[in-house]
Amino acid sequence: MLLTARYVLPISEPFIENGAILVRDDKIVEVGHATDLKVRHPEEPVKDFGLAALMPGFIDVHTHLEYSAMRGLVHDAPYAAWKMAVAQKEPFFTSQDWDDSALLGGLEAVASGITTIADITSSGASGHAAQAIGLRGVIYREVGTMDRHMVDEAMRKAEQDIEAWRATVDSDRLSIGIAPNSLYTCNPTILDRIAEYAMDGTSVALHLAGSMEEYQFIKYGSSPFSVHNVELGAGYGIDMPPWLPTGESPVRYILNRHLLDVPNVLAIHCVHVNDADIEKLAERDVAIAYCPRCNAKLSMGVAPVSKFLTAGIRVGLGTDSPAASDSMDMIDEMRIGLLLQRAVGDKRNFLDTDQMVYMATLGGARCLRIEDKVGSLEPGKLADIIAIDLSASHQAPTHYPNSAIGHTANQDNILMTMVSGKILFDGNLCYEVDAERVQARAEEMRLKLRY
Residue numbers at the binding site for Zn ion (CB under 5 A):
320
Phi/psi zone of residue 221: left (φ > 0), alpha (ψ -120 to 50 degrees), beta? Answer: left
Q: 214 or 371, CB closer to Zn ion? A: 214
Q: 119 or 384, CB closer to Zn ion? A: 119
Cβ at position 194, least distance to Zn ion in Å: 17
Q: 10 or 124, CB closer to Zn ion? A: 124
Q: Which of 410, 181, 211, 364 is nearest to 302 (CA)?
A: 211
Cβ at position 71, least distance to Zn ion in Å: 14
CA torsion, points 221, 225, 231, 233, in degrees to nearest 10?
Answer: -80
Cβ at position 7, least distance to Zn ion in Å: 33
Cβ at position 120, least distance to Zn ion in Å: 6
Q: 213 or 320, CB closer to Zn ion? A: 320
Q: 9 or 324, CB closer to Zn ion? A: 324
Residue whose Cβ sits closest to Zn ion: 320
Cβ at position 346, least distance to Zn ion in Å: 25
CA 64 vs CA 121, 123, 329, 387: distances in Å: 7, 11, 14, 25
Cβ at position 269, least distance to Zn ion in Å: 8
Q: 63 or 376, CB closer to Zn ion? A: 63
Measured CA angle at 121 (ends 331, 235), to 5 deg: 125
Q: 10 or 364, CB closer to Zn ion? A: 364
Cβ at position 125, least distance to Zn ion in Å: 15
Cβ at position 320, least distance to Zn ion in Å: 5
Q: 102 or 386, CB closer to Zn ion? A: 102
